[in-house]
Structure formats: C-alpha cells, structure tokens
A and B are shown apart, each in its own frame.
Chain A
C-alpha cells in the first residue's frame, strides 16, 4: 500500500511537545488523529526540524536532558520518518526553490530551515506541510501548494479532507 507522506515543521513539533504552549492542545489533537491513520501515512521530520526544535525547547528553558529524551522518543515512533538532507538534495531542488527566493524582496529574511523543510516536502511528492508559523504559507505557497497553517480550524479541516482523498 502506498503511504502518504506528511511533513511536520518545527513550529508544529515544539507546540506538540511543550504541554504549556498555547497551541499545544491543537497540535496534540492533530497528532493523535494522525496516529490513527497508522500504516497509511508516514510523518516526515527532516533533520533541520530536529535541530531547530531542540534549540527552541532549550531556549524555552527546558532541560537538555528532557528535550533530548522526548525528541528521541518522537523519532522512535513507528509512523515517524527522520529524513536527513544530503548535498545532492540541495543541488536537485535548487531549480524548484529559485522562483520563491527571487520573488521575495532583497530585504526580506528567508530562514534557511524553512526553505529546507519546504524543499523536503517538494521532494516527497509535494507532501503536505503542517505548520504553526503564519509566515510560512504566505512565503512559500508559490512553490509548495500544500502548506497547511493548522492553527486555523478551516486549514486543519482542509488538510484532513486532502489526506482522506489521498488515502482513498
């Protein structure tokens, strides 16, 4: 059976892991729903997401030991796939991200991690990206149509409709 890939951005991962986040409940419910799709999906967590999430948790004054242990547990979940980035990926995806980089004004910042997460989603058959970063969709929608800002209820509904359609 073909599995549907879903990419999780660091903004979603940290909200899921830190139980006092204002967005934690939403991330928790979405992740719980995803786990019920087990065997039909794979949750893709690119390596930069692991770095960024770990650093954000530490910056939020969570002990390194706890952050390491919890992230490790997340990566050990059967439905989670850790995708590392090879140099060849960068070379291959460059033509796809070029229009987006050039479209943004020279003054605008483009966090490299965001761009790598998007590039991985493109690599994985335009996999949907789940994010709690409001800027992400706006910045990258031209090159990656499946970015879902799932803090918004309508977007969440749209994501699960898309997922159900892909699975059926």
Chain B
C-alpha cells in the first residue's frame, strides 16, 4: 500500500471515529440503563421479554 492510500485510510478511520463520537450518548452525556428494553416495552407492553435478549458481547 502506498503512502497516499495509507493516508486516505487513516483519514477515513478518523472520520468514522468522529461520526461515532457525535452520535453515541456517553455516560457523561447522560446515557443510562437499557434503551432497547424501554423500546420493546413501548412496542409490546407486558410481552416485551419475548423480544428482548440481554447481550453478552
């Protein structure tokens, strides 16, 4: 890989990290709990557990 391509890849990665930082709500910004759980409760009411799996990843 030449230097130009390496720079391009580096810039691309930088841009991706910037996007991710902009869209993710950090703990400092108030992230808490499990919003997926809340969403499924909104969708299914009492049956929300059938649609939810706690990720182990």
Contacts and interface: CB of A to CB of B under 8 A. Distances in A.
A16 B34 CA distance: 11
Contacts of A59: 35, 38, 41-42
Contact of A17 (B35, B41, B50): B35
B19 A20 contact: no
Contact of A62 (B25, B39, B52): B25
Main SS of the interface on chain A? helix
Given A36-B12, A114-B43, A134-B53, A19 B25 contact: yes
Main SS of the interface on chain B? helix
B42 to A, nearest CB: 6
Contacts of A61: 30, 32-33
B27 A19 contact: yes
A67 B19 CA distance: 16
Interface string B10-48: 001000100110111111011111111011111111010
Interface residues of A, number: 47
A95 interface: no
Nearest to B54: A22
A111 B52 CA distance: 15
A14 B39 contact: yes
Contacts of A67: 25
Nearest to A36: B16
B3 interface: no
B23 to A, nearest CB: 5
A11 interface: yes
Contacts of B36: 11, 14-15, 18, 21-23, 56, 132
16 contacts: A19-B25, A20-B33, A21-B33, A23-B57, A24-B24, A28-B24, A56-B38, A62-B25, A66-B30, A70-B25, A70-B29, A73-B23, A77-B23, A114-B43, A133-B51, A134-B50
Interface of A: 10-11, 14-26, 28, 31-32, 35-36, 38, 52-53, 55-57, 59-63, 66-67, 70, 73-74, 77, 109, 111, 113-114, 132-136, 151
Interface of B: 12, 16, 19-20, 22-27, 29-36, 38-45, 47, 50-55, 57
